[in-house]
Structure 1
Amino acid sequence: MARPEFIYVTYIETTPEKLWDALTKSEFTRQYWFDTEVRSDWKVGSSFALVMSGTTTDTGEILEADRPRRLSYTFKHEVNEEMRNEGPTKVVFTLEPWGSLVKLTVTHEGFAAGSKLLDGISKGWPAILSGLKSLLETGKAPTIPPAALGIEGFE
């Protein structure tokens, strides 16, 4: 039986290089990812961390970094005990140029049946990726209050 996964596809008017930078540099992520800093050197085998307001919320290891085409890492939530105990999952970003657009596919996989983390990221990723798209296309990301997502413990 297949394990549950989350897949999100969007088309962004930008270049693959600019999109890659927006995914991997804190100067961008802070603008669309709830003021989150990304910490990694983006080399295969290196550590990865998301830091929000001084708290490390998620960690992992870089599995693949093929700039500007594909990025993947393990993902382990660190704040909510129940989600932390679910263990690591995997996130894959695939960037495909289509003329003046880039097709971005985000796959987050490896969840256990009934995963609380899957429920949380299913609410979080659409808001994060909407902000990313707006930032790259207009220069401004919308301010989405974390409480609007309805994720327990993320107010």
Structure 2
Amino acid sequence: MSKEKTSFVYVTYIRSTPEKVYEAITRPEIARRYWGHENVSDWRQGSKWQHVRANDQRTVELVGEVVEVSPPDRLVITWANASQAEDRDAYSRVTFEVVEYEDMVRLTVTHDELEAGSGMANGISKGWPAVLSSLKSFLETGDALDVFAKPKAA
């Protein structure tokens, strides 16, 4: 019996260009500044990609494959915890769609094929809003947010 799947869609508007938004997602030296991770790949269809923690340990936390590449408008990748790399059922999919809107960009991130109620689904429901807010802040002001911040104790 197959497990129930879920998806999440995140949309943000960023005062930037499609090229800069796309580069911020795919260039490790930029992603590390607002995400605390580097997305490492040659960004060719069928290539592997890794999401590497940008610290001294350089831990590979996520892995996947590049499914579709159409810079600067669209990028589709598969996504799984590194510990589940061999389990094809553990993979979900992330689609980045970048659309120019006059002097800004609409970035839509769709994370689908997620197992409903899984740790990954729970994690990305909190993680993507922080990462995309940090990306927006970084591209518009040059200052990123702390994506690892925790809520203050009451």
What is the TM-score normalised by the length of structure 2?
Answer: 0.87
User: What runs of 5+ residues in structure 2 fail to find an aligned partner?
Assistant: none
- Indicate the residue corresponding to 1:88 in structure 2: 91
RMSD between superposed Cα atoms in Å: 2.0
Q: Tell me the equivalent position of 2:43.
A: 42
The 8 Å contact of residues 91 and 109 in structure 1, kept in 2 or not, is answered as: yes
1:64 aligns with 2:68: yes
Contact 2:4 2:115 in 1 (8 A): no
**2:150 partner SS:** helix
Q: Which residue of 1 aligns with 2:26?
A: 24
Structure 1 ranges of 4+ moved more than 3 A:
none
The match for 2:116 is 113
Structure 2 counterpart of 1:74: 78
CA gap of 1:147–1:101, structure 2 versus 1, over 3 A, is closer
CA shift at 1:113, angstroms? 2.5
Q: Per-residue deviation at 1:3? A: 2.5
Identity %: 42
Give me the whole-angstrom Cα distance separating, in 2, the residues matched to 1:31 and 1:126: 16
Shift of 1:46: 0.3
**Counterpart code for 1:103:** R
Structure 1 distance, partners of 2:89, 2:130, is 23
Aligned pair count reads 144
Counterpart Cα distance in 1 of 2:115 and 2:126: 17
Structure 1 stretches lacking a partner, 5+ long: 150-155
Aligned to 2:135: 132
In the alignment, the residues of structure 1 paired with residue 25 and residue 124 of structure 2 have an alpha-carbon distance, to the nearest angstrom, of 16
TM-score, L = length of structure 1: 0.86
Q: CA separation in 1, counterparts of 2:63 and 2:136?
A: 24
